Amino acid sequence: MKRRPQTTTQPSRFNYATIAILGGVFVLGIGIGIAFSSTANFTPQNVASREFIDRSVPNPELCVQFGASAMVMNMRVFLTLNPFNVYVSQPNIKPGCVIRRNNWSILEKRNLVNNEQVRDCKNRMNTFGYTGNINDDPEINCIYQNDSAQNLFLPGQLGPGGNAPENNF
């Protein structure tokens, strides 16, 4: 039998300590990159928090005390029947405020709504919302609360193992 000639093993350029250090630097770099890219930027171009919205509404103290700040979207939808198509205009988003039902008196005291508007809105189980400064000339509407609206960003709503909402067509 012929034996194979023994080859001399050359020492590796990378030993375990060097590989561990390089791996640590790699992980640290990824961590720093994530930290830089995910910092909150509270500018009008990036509305990232409830606090920013609360500060952006006209009359923020009044809104927080007697209601809730909101983002108001004005949008038009056009529906054609022959052929069936739906067209949507570009939404216009502005800050607004939703007044709680038990605080409508602040609107009545300022003569911004009359008794008939209050009665009509109350009969339909709605509330009032406004945009613009309440001291100048706000645009006030009787608005309906949609109880079927869901926040699908909450944990357990969707995601791994979660169920998608059913389409009722």
Consecutive 10-residue runs of the chain (169 residues): their mean pLDDT?
66 75 87 72 58 84 91 90 91 91 91 92 89 91 80 60 49
Q: Is 143 exposed, middle or buried (0-12, 13-18, 19+ CB in 10 A)?
A: middle
pTM assigned to the model: 0.58
Sign of dihedral through CA atoms 158, 161, 165, 169? positive
Q: What is the pLDDT of residue 22?
A: 85
Q: What is the pLDDT of residue 17?
A: 82
Q: In this structure, what token pair is assigned to residue 88?
A: 């949507």
